[in-house]
Amino acid sequence: YLPHKLGIRIENEMIVQKEEKNFYGQFLSFEDITYVPYDRDAIDTQYLSDEEIDWINAYHKMIWEKIGPLLSGKEKSFLKKATGKITRA
């Protein structure tokens, strides 16, 4: 990567699972196993499509739903803020 060029690469861990097999072939699905919210301060929405923003919001929602119930106090408050919806500036 070049400094100040081309953005960053994000790598999430996923499980690949076999799903339906039909006339068209074997289908696969993907299950996230990385539950870490993206740093909201590092996201510049002017460079993202609506679909990309929706994907980040869905990912953050999944994190909140899976991890939020396991936390309390400051940790839960931090996660709630970190996984809140992002919108265009």
Q: What is the pLDDT of residues 71-80, one digit of tens each?
A: 999 999 999 9
Q: What 3-state DSSP class applies to 72?
A: coil
Query: Taken in order 36, 56, 46, 4, is the CA torsion positive or negative?
Result: positive
- Each domain of the chain, given as residue ranges in start order, spans 14-82
Cβ of 18: how many Cβ atoms within 10 Å? 9
Claim: this prediction has a pTM higher than 0.85: no
Residues ≥6 apart with Cβ < 8 Å to 57: 85, 86
21-72 pLDDT per residue, tens = 999 999 999 999 999 999 999 899 998 999 999 999 999 999 999 999 999 9
* Per-residue pLDDT reduced to its tens digit, 60-72: 999 999 999 999 9
Q: What is the DSSP letter of 40?
A: G
Task: Confirm if 37 and 16 have CB atoms less than 8 A apart.
Answer: no
